[in-house]
Chains A and B, each alone.
Chain A
C-alpha cells in the first residue's frame, strides 16, 4: 500500500445512490502523480458516475475526496475546474451553438477592462488547437465541424483546464487511429509534467498501450487496482465481467458460403461532395464490411444507401426492380434499417423509457394509426433487453438514466425490432464493453445466418474479418477495393487502405 503522500487524488468509500439503483458502493480510487490510470468495467459498472462524483457533477452520498492531501468537496463542475480537474464527459460534445473559441474558453474568457477580449480569445484558441494539428476557423459554430473534430476540441478544452488532473471518459470513441495517436502523445506529455490522468475506455489495446495502472469496477463496486504491466489480458477481462469470457472474439474465421441471390444492386450510386459513384451488390445472407479511415466516406456510403442524403447519380434495384431511396422513410418502407454512428445525438429520446425507445422505429414504420399493443411492446422490450444484455432496472426507466453503452444497445435494439431485411450498422461496437462486444458479433452472425443482408462499418479490422463475407475498402470518398473469400485478412485490408493507386478491383 502506498502512503497518502504519493497520491494526487484520493477518493475513499464513495457512495452514490440513484432511485432504484446503487451506482457506487464504497468505491476507493487513488490516482498518483504522473500516472495514466485506466478505469474499466462493463457498461453500467459505474465508471461515469464515479467520475461525475469526483468533479461535482453529481453530489455523492458518502465518502471523502483528497486532492494533494487536502480534503476537497467540489460543489459543481466549475469548482472542480478551478481545482485543476479537467474532464471530458462521455455524453458531452460541448455546446454546438457556440463558436469553437467560446467552447474552449467558456467560463474563463480573457478579459480587458471587464469585457471579453474576443480577438485574444480567438488567437489563443488557434494556438491551443495547433497542438492538435487542427486548423479550424475558431469563430465558426462548433456544430459546423464533424463529431471527431468536436471531440478533439472537447479534449483540448479539458487538457487546458487540467492543472492537476485530467479525466477522459471514453474520449476515443469517435476518433480514428491517427487522432488517438495524437491524443496519446499529449497524454504522455502531461504525464511527464506530473499530472494524473484518468482514462476510461472499452478498447483494451489502448489500455495496454497507455496506462500504468488499472482500476476495475463491477456493479458499482471496486474489484481492484492492478499494475498494467503485470495484469494479463485474460485476468483483466475476468475481473471486469466476473467470469471467464469464452472467447473474446473468434479470430478464427469461419468460411460462410453465400449463395443467395443478389437482392440489392446499386449502380453508379453516388452524391457529389459526399461519395463518388460506386457499384455494390448485396446478397441475402451476406455481411458487407466497410473498412477505411475516418473521413474516407464510410458514413457517407451508409447515409446515401439509407436515403439520409439523396443520391444524385445512379440507380438502386431491389430484387431486380428499380426502387427510389430518396428519404429514410422510403428506405424504411423497403425494410432498410440504419443504426447511425453518432448515437449520442442522433438516436436517443432521453425522456422516453427504454421500452418506448425500442419500439419507436417499428411504430413509425407501421404508422401511428396502428399502435402496437402494450403487451407486444413489453414482449419486444423484454426480449431485446435480455438478448443484448441491456443493464436497466426495468423497461420503464427513462433511457437517459442508463449508462452510455447501454443506451447504445437500446438503439441497436430499436432497429432490430423493425426486423429489417437490409441492416446498416455504423460502428456498432463502439463504447460497448468486451462481454457485450462478443454478444453483438454473435448477433451479427446470427442475423446473417437467418438470411438478412447486412452492411457493417467498423474501424476494428479484426472484427470485420471475423464476420464479413465481403469487405469494401474506402479511401478519399471512393470505393477502392473489394475483398472476398481468401483475401479477407487483416493484412490485406490494411494494405488496401494504405496503398494509393489500386483502383476499383473486383
Chain B
C-alpha cells in the first residue's frame, strides 16, 4: 500500500475496532439516534477542526479558534438582542469579521516572518478580550429564527436526526476534502508543509497561500461560532475555552503530521468521531467520570504520535536506494 495512507488507515481501523467494542457492550450505540446526536454534539468542533487541518498541513498552528468561536457567539447575541438585524445578516457579518481576523494573522505571519504559534496566541487573547468588551455575561438568544433553524432536520430511519448543524459539519468536511485534494490551493497547502523555501522556488505563491489558509481557518472558526450559538442558544465570552486543543487533537488522531505536509481532512473527521465515540461510551456507562474522556483521548493522542514516528521511520529506511 502507498505509505501515505498508513496513518489514515490506522485511524480508521482503530475507529472501527473501538466502535465494534462499544456496540458489543451497548448495542444501542449503533442506533441512528446516537449517531445523529454524535454529529450534532460535535458539529462546532468538527467545523473548526477542518480549518485547523489546513493550518497544520501547511506547517502552522492556529490557537485563536476557541476565542473566535466565543467572540462570534457573543457578537451574535449582542447584535440580535440590541438591534433589529436579521440573524442571517448577523451571520454574514460574523463570518466576515472572523475571516478578516484570520487573514490579518496570516499576513502578519508571512510578512513579519513571525511564528504562527506566537501570532495566533496573540490572536487568541485579542479575540477573547474583544468578546469580553462586548459583554461579560452569558446572553441568551431568543430570536424566533433560531427556533426555526433548530427545528430543521433530516429524519433517518430508526428515529435519528441529522440536524442542520450536524449536516452542516458533514458539508464542511465534504468541501474541505474537495479543497484539499482537488484544487491547486490544496496542493499549495501541502507544498508549504513540505518546506516553504522549496515551495517558493517552485513558484508557489507563499504569501497569498498563507493568508488564505488562516483566513479559511478564521472563516470556519466563525462558522463554528455560529453553530455553537445555535447549539447553545447563547453567547458567552468564557465559552469554548480550549476548543483549539480539541481540534488539534482531532487532527493528529486523524493521522495528520503535526510538522505539516502530510495528512487528510477525512482523517480529521474520523478523529472527531473517535472523540465523540469515547464521550458517548462514557455517557452510556454512566459510572465513569467524564474525566475518563480526557484520559482516553490523551492516551490515544500519545499512541498516535508514537505511531506516526514509527511510520516516518519505517518509510525512511525503506526508501529505495540509488
A274 and B321 alpha carbons, distance in the complex (Å)? 8
Are the C-beta atoms of B204 and A78 separated by less than 8 Å?
A: yes
From known contacts A144-B320, A145-B320, infer whether A116 and B190 are also in contact, taking CB-CB under 8 Å: no
Are the C-beta atoms of A149 and B322 separated by less than 8 Å?
A: yes
For this complex, 27 residue pairs linking A to B, each with C-beta atoms less than 8 Å apart, are A77-B200, A77-B201, A77-B203, A92-B201, A95-B195, A95-B198, A95-B202, A96-B194, A97-B194, A97-B262, A98-B194, A106-B188, A106-B202, A107-B202, A115-B178, A118-B181, A137-B2, A140-B3, A143-B319, A144-B3, A145-B319, A146-B321, A146-B322, A147-B322, A294-B322, A299-B322, A300-B321
Q: Residue on A with the closest CB to B3?
A: A144
Residue in B3, B183, B322 whose Cβ sees the most chain A Cβ within 10 Å? B322
Q: Residue on B with the closest CB to A303?
A: B321
Are the C-beta atoms of B203 and A81 separated by less than 8 Å?
A: yes
Task: Check if A276 is an interface residue, CB within 8 A of chain B.
Answer: no
From known contacts A94-B202, A309-B317, infer whether A116 and B183 are also in contact, taking CB-CB under 8 Å: yes
A292 and B204 alpha carbons, distance in the complex (Å)? 39
Interface residues of B in 203-235 (CB under 8 A from A): 203-205
Task: Check if B135 is an interface residue, CB within 8 A of chain A.
Answer: no
Chain B min CB distance to A228 (Å)? 29
| Chain B residues within an 8 Å CB radius of A109 | 184, 187
Are the C-beta atoms of B2 and A102 separated by less than 8 Å?
A: no
The interface bits of chain A over 96-134 (1 if a CB of B lies within 8 angstroms of the residue's CB, else 0) are 111000110011010100111010000000000000000
| Chain B residues within an 8 Å CB radius of A143 | 315, 319
| Chain B residues within an 8 Å CB radius of A106 | 187-188, 191, 202-204
The interface bits of chain B over 285-322 (1 if a CB of A lies within 8 angstroms of the residue's CB, else 0) are 00000000000000000000000000000010111111
Task: Check if B150 is an interface residue, CB within 8 A of chain A.
Answer: no
Q: Residue on A with the closest CB to B199?
A: A95
From known contacts A145-B319, A146-B319, A146-B321, infer whether A139 and B2 are also in contact, taking CB-CB under 8 Å: yes
Chain A min CB distance to B176 (Å)? 14
A57 and B198 alpha carbons, distance in the complex (Å)? 11
Q: Residue on B with the closest CB to A144?
A: B319
The interface bits of chain B over 236-271 (1 if a CB of A lies within 8 angstroms of the residue's CB, else 0) are 000000000000000000000000011000000000
Task: Check if B60 is an interface residue, CB within 8 A of chain A.
Answer: no
Residue in A77, A95, A114 whose Cβ sees the most chain B Cβ within 10 Å? A95
Q: Residue on B with the closest CB to A294?
A: B322
Are the C-beta atoms of A141 and B4 separated by less than 8 Å?
A: yes
A95 and B182 alpha carbons, distance in the complex (Å)? 18
| Chain A residues within an 8 Å CB radius of B191 | 95, 98, 106
Q: Residue on B with the closest CB to A350?
A: B197
Interface residues of A in 403-444 (CB under 8 A from B): none
Task: Check if A89 is an interface residue, CB within 8 A of chain B.
Answer: yes
Interface residues of A in 283-329 (CB under 8 A from B): 294-295, 299-300, 309
A167 and B226 alpha carbons, distance in the complex (Å)? 52
Are the C-beta atoms of B200 and A76 separated by less than 8 Å?
A: yes
Q: Residue on A with the closest CB to B202?
A: A106
Interface residues of B in 140-186 (CB under 8 A from A): 178, 181-184, 186
Contact surface of A with B, Cβ cutoff 8 Å:
57, 76-78, 80-81, 87, 89, 92, 94-98, 102-103, 106-107, 109, 111, 114-116, 118, 137, 139-141, 143-149, 174, 274, 294-295, 299-300, 309
A98 and B202 alpha carbons, distance in the complex (Å)? 12
A137 and B320 alpha carbons, distance in the complex (Å)? 13
Are the C-beta atoms of B187 and A148 separated by less than 8 Å?
A: no
Are the C-beta atoms of A146 and B183 separated by less than 8 Å?
A: no
Q: How many residues belonging to B are interface residues under a CB distance threshold of 8 Å?
A: 33
Q: Residue on B with the closest CB to A157?
A: B202
A97 and B316 alpha carbons, distance in the complex (Å)? 12
Interchain residue pairs A-B with the least CB separation, the first 8: A146-B322, A78-B203, A95-B194, A97-B261, A97-B194, A115-B182, A148-B322, A77-B203
Chain A min CB distance to B9 (Å)? 15
Chain B min CB distance to A108 (Å)? 8
Interface SS of B by simple majority? helix
Q: Residue on A with the closest CB to B259?
A: A97
Are the C-beta atoms of B315 and A144 separated by less than 8 Å?
A: yes
Q: Residue on A with the closest CB to B57?
A: A97
Residue in B186, B195, B203, B318 whose Cβ sees the most chain A Cβ within 10 Å? B203
Chain A min CB distance to B48 (Å)? 24
Are the C-beta atoms of B199 and A116 separated by less than 8 Å?
A: no
Are the C-beta atoms of A97 and B193 separated by less than 8 Å?
A: yes
| Chain B residues within an 8 Å CB radius of A92 | 198, 201-202
Extra A-B contacts (5), CB below 8 Å, given A98-B187, A106-B187, A143-B319: A78-B204, A94-B202, A97-B262, A146-B319, A174-B322
A103 and B187 alpha carbons, distance in the complex (Å)? 10
Are the C-beta atoms of A57 and B194 separated by less than 8 Å?
A: no
Are the C-beta atoms of A140 and B2 separated by less than 8 Å?
A: yes
A109 and B190 alpha carbons, distance in the complex (Å)? 14
Are the C-beta atoms of A107 and B190 separated by less than 8 Å?
A: no
| Chain A residues within an 8 Å CB radius of B195 | 95-96
Chain B min CB distance to A457 (Å)? 12
Chain B min CB distance to A341 (Å)? 9
Among A76, A137, A149, which residue has its beta carbon within 8 angstroms of that of B203?
A: A76
Chain A min CB distance to B305 (Å)? 18
Q: Residue on B with the closest CB to A142?
A: B194
A192 and B320 alpha carbons, distance in the complex (Å)? 35
Q: Residue on B with the closest CB to A341?
A: B322
Q: Residue on A with the closest CB to B257?
A: A97
Chain A min CB distance to B200 (Å)? 7
Are the C-beta atoms of B322 and A115 separated by less than 8 Å?
A: no
Chain A min CB distance to B120 (Å)? 23
A78 and B207 alpha carbons, distance in the complex (Å)? 13
Q: Residue on B with the closest CB to A274?
A: B321
| Chain A residues within an 8 Å CB radius of B261 | 95, 97
| Chain A residues within an 8 Å CB radius of B315 | 143-144
Q: Residue on B with the closest CB to A161?
A: B203
Q: Residue on B with the closest CB to A149?
A: B322
Q: Residue on B with the closest CB to A96?
A: B194
A294 and B3 alpha carbons, distance in the complex (Å)? 25
Are the C-beta atoms of B321 and A295 separated by less than 8 Å?
A: yes
A26 and B30 alpha carbons, distance in the complex (Å)? 74
Chain A min CB distance to B291 (Å)? 37
From known contacts A115-B183, A140-B2, infer whether A57 and B204 are also in contact, taking CB-CB under 8 Å: no
A205 and B261 alpha carbons, distance in the complex (Å)? 40
Chain B min CB distance to A431 (Å)? 16
Chain A min CB distance to B311 (Å)? 12
Are the C-beta atoms of B322 and A57 separated by less than 8 Å?
A: no
Are the C-beta atoms of B320 and A146 separated by less than 8 Å?
A: yes
A137 and B3 alpha carbons, distance in the complex (Å)? 12
A87 and B200 alpha carbons, distance in the complex (Å)? 13
A174 and B183 alpha carbons, distance in the complex (Å)? 33
| Chain A residues within an 8 Å CB radius of B4 | 140-141
A198 and B321 alpha carbons, distance in the complex (Å)? 30
Are the C-beta atoms of B202 and A118 separated by less than 8 Å?
A: no
A10 and B180 alpha carbons, distance in the complex (Å)? 40
| Chain A residues within an 8 Å CB radius of B318 | 144
A98 and B203 alpha carbons, distance in the complex (Å)? 15
| Chain B residues within an 8 Å CB radius of A114 | 183
Q: Residue on A with the closest CB to B179?
A: A115
| Chain B residues within an 8 Å CB radius of A139 | 2
Chain B min CB distance to A95 (Å)? 4
